[in-house]
């Protein structure tokens, strides 16, 4: 199970999407012992500070099915210097100008000649939704003087990035917050831009940047073997553990599908998904949910196994199908979503066909508070 050598007795421990659900206190005790022998550290989430700060009682955590234990392998991550190829600490490894503690080589530069920076001028008016942004190419960054030199040209970017006359007008609005110099017959725009950014004093606020200099990798080392940063280890690095005897089996209710989707790591909100019919749910999603249905609900698990292969694979359709299987009067969530509005705007601007469902979802999405605040310019 999950690549771990665990003792299971009559399905008293079940894994669903990488988490472990324990059916009895005896099974929990056995699981904890075996995980610790396998090198895991285990946190009792009943005592976690963030849970206490949220004011959630232990009885609520148990009754509502919160994870109550969190197992993790000790920190496995190291830096690998690109110059000396030795393992080093990851602390500060990706901060501008950081140097390897073994050989002194620089491990990272945030901005170098040729990097691109997307930014706005730093004030509340410029941080609104769809406010104009500038994207420019970096010449150099003098971190000692806190000056950033950009080539005097505007690059294309995403939905909010402006070029041409719009970019020039935006710059002209902020005359005095930068100056122009000529260097080797190249015009450069110079901003005050300190290494440690401070909103109260900064001239510009960065949104994103690309083209940094990396002279390191992040690797994982487990049992003497080195893995790439995003490689999967033979065992999970972290495991959430649930005490299912407090709440299972779940009764058949109009919102049972929400619990099943949640435990499978899925949203129950149709509005969150694309509305053009593209597949979202896979057989793997449904088989994990089927496992949960069988062990932790009062639904007919054999009937669910027969039914799910015919469920629709798109997000909204799949949510509706599982909901109506679970209860004939299921309450299906479909909240207004700004994403559906933005997709419709993008497709409309390019003359692409939209399904009727996309059109309706975009209209519905206008009720999202983010749309009202950003696109429509008012709040309820």
For the chain, percent of residues with pLDDT exceeding 70? 97
Taking only Cα atoms into account, the Rg of the chain, rounded to an integer number of angstroms, comes to: 27
Phi, psi (degrees; rounded to nearest 5) at 179? -140, 160
Name the more confident of 133 and 375.
133
Dist. CA 334–CA 312, nearest whole Å: 17
CB atoms within 10 A of CB 42: 15
pTM for the whole structure: 0.76
For the chain, the domains span: 77-106+216-228, 111-211, 338-374
- Whether the CA torsion 42, 44, 49, 54 is positive or negative: it is positive
CA dihedral 347, 348, 351, 357 (to 10 degrees): 70
Q: Which CATH number fits domain 111-211: 3.30.230, 2.30.110, 3.30.43, 3.30.110?
A: 2.30.110
Work out the average pLDDT over 306-326: 97
User: If you ran DSSP here, which 8-state letter would residue 42 be given?
Assistant: E
What are the CB-based long-range contacts (under 8 Å, 24+) for 124-127?
126/205, 127/205
User: Could you read off the pLDDT of 136-163 as tens digits, one per residue?
Assistant: 999 999 999 999 999 999 999 877 899 9
State yes or no: pLDDT of 374 exceeds 80: no
Q: 178-182, 199-203, 329-333 — which is least confidently predicted?
A: 199-203
Dist. CA 288–CA 15, nearest whole Å: 9
User: Could you read off the pLDDT of 16-26 as tens digits, one per residue?
Assistant: 999 999 999 99
Q: How many residues does the chain have?
A: 380
User: Could you read off the pLDDT of 76-131 as tens digits, one per residue?
Assistant: 999 999 999 999 999 999 999 999 999 999 999 999 999 999 999 998 777 766 68
Binning pLDDT at 50, 70 and 90, where does residue 261 land? very high
How would you classify the pairing of strands 19-22 and 238-243? parallel
State yes or no: pLDDT of 72 exceeds 60: yes
């Amino acid at each position: 199970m999950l690549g771990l050598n665990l003792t299971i007795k009559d399905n008293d421990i079940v894994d669903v999407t990488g988490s472990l659900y324990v059916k009895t206190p005896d099974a929990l005790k056995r699981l904890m012992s075996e995980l610790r022998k396998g090198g895991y550290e285990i946190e009792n989430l009943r005592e976690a500070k963030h849970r206490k700060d949220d004011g959630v009682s232990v009885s609520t955590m148990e009754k509502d099915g919160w994870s109550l234990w969190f197992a993790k392998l000790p920190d496995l991550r190291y830096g690998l210097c690109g110059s000396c190829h030795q393992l080093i600490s990851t602390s500060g490894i990706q901060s501008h100008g950081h140097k390897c503690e073994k050989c002194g080589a620089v491990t990272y530069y945030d901005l170098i000649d040729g990097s691109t920076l997307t930014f706005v001028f730093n004030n509340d008016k410029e941080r609104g939704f769809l406010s104009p942004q500038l994207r420019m190419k970096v010449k150099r960054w003098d971190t000692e003087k806190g000056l950033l030199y950009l080539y005097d040209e505007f690059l294309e970017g995403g939905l909010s990035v402006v070029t041409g006359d719009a970019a020039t007008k935006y710059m002209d609005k902020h005359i005095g917050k930068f100056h122009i110099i000529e260097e080797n017959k190249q015009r450069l725009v110079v901003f005050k831009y300190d290494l440690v950014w401070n909103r109260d004093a900064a001239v510009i606020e960065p949104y994103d940047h690309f083209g940094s200099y990396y002279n390191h990798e992040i690797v994982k080392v487990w049992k003497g073997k080195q893995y790439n940063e995003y490689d999967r280890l033979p065992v999970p690095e972290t495991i959430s553990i649930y005490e299912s005897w407090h709440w299972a089996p779940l009764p058949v209710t109009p919102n049972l599908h929400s619990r099943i989707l949640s435990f499978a790591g899925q949203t129950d909100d149709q509005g969150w998904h694309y509305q053009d019919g593209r597949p979202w749910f896979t057989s793997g999603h449904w088989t994990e949910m089927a496992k949960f249905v069988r062990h932790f609900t009062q639904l007919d698990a054999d009937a669910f196994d027969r039914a799910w292969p015919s469920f629709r694979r798109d997000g909204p359709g799949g949510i509706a199908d599982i909901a109506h299987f679970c209860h004939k009067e299921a309450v299906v969530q479909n909240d207004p979503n700004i994403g559906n509005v933005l997709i419709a705007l993008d497709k409309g601007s390019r003359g692409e066909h939209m399904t009727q469902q996309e059109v309706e979802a975009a209209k519905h999405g206008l009720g999202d508070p983010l749309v009202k605040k950003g696109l429509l310019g008012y709040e309820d």
